[in-house]
Structure 1
Amino acid sequence: MRRNSTGAGGRLHDGNRSENYRKALRALDGSGSLGAVDVDEFVDAIRKEFADRYCSIPVGIVGKCYLGEPFEVHTLALDGAILEHYHRGQVLPGGLERARALAVSPAYLAVEVYPDRMVCARADGSIVIMESDS
């Protein structure tokens, strides 16, 4: 595994994403019917993906929302484990907006947002790293 670093000085997890991580991401759209404990379990599984590899945790994750209209994407802010669903055209906070177009693409399961890059996770666990222009 290469030792890439994020803008925050941590190491980037540049390997394939685990099945547990992908299951947790897929479960996020069911959060409207999940209790707080269930959401916490999913967030813990996502955090574990990075902690087990001593890697930086993304500032947030953006994924396509399957709850139906008017929702388009959902975000997960891992610092506070806040899950939000956003309408089409509603601006995402904290620099997450730049991931929206990638997140709604059928090519990706979710987009991890870091200060200096985005990592697009595919359903099979493979990833695409996109460096920031800034």
Structure 2
Amino acid sequence: RVTPPGRGIVHQVNLEQLATIVAEGPDGVLLPDTVIGTDSHTTMVNGLGVLGWGVGGLEAEAQMLGLAQPLRVPEIVGVRLTGAVSPGTSSTDVVLTLTRRLREENVRALMLEFTGPGVAELTAADRCTIANMAPEYGAMTAFFPV
């Protein structure tokens, strides 16, 4: 699918119109969706269970020309969430608190995977907001499996 220019910022368009989450391959094998984008907030789609991260312009250009994307597999660190968001607390409050805590833990260049019973208490919008902020707390990407 093609989205015409001027129809929105790429990470939001991908989230709302392009992400498939899981697709069936030609042999009936289920294939998870992945996204590599030129926007550092490509990670937003990870709130839906799509693995996405941002790359520089030269890497994106190379991919568009059919070249392989070399990728150093990052260390994967689990972030266990427990409890529920208190009434009157916004996803912005949650993400700013998480950002502060994760910066203290030095998660730079890591892949974070959010797990635990607290994940079920978050809305899709909450998960996408948390995933969107991965560059702000230093992570390569932040993933919510579905």
Tell me the TM-score normalised to structure 1 length.
0.30
Point out the structure with the larger helix share: 2
Mark the structure with the bigger radius of gyration. 2
Higher RCO (C-alpha 8 Å, min separation 6): 2
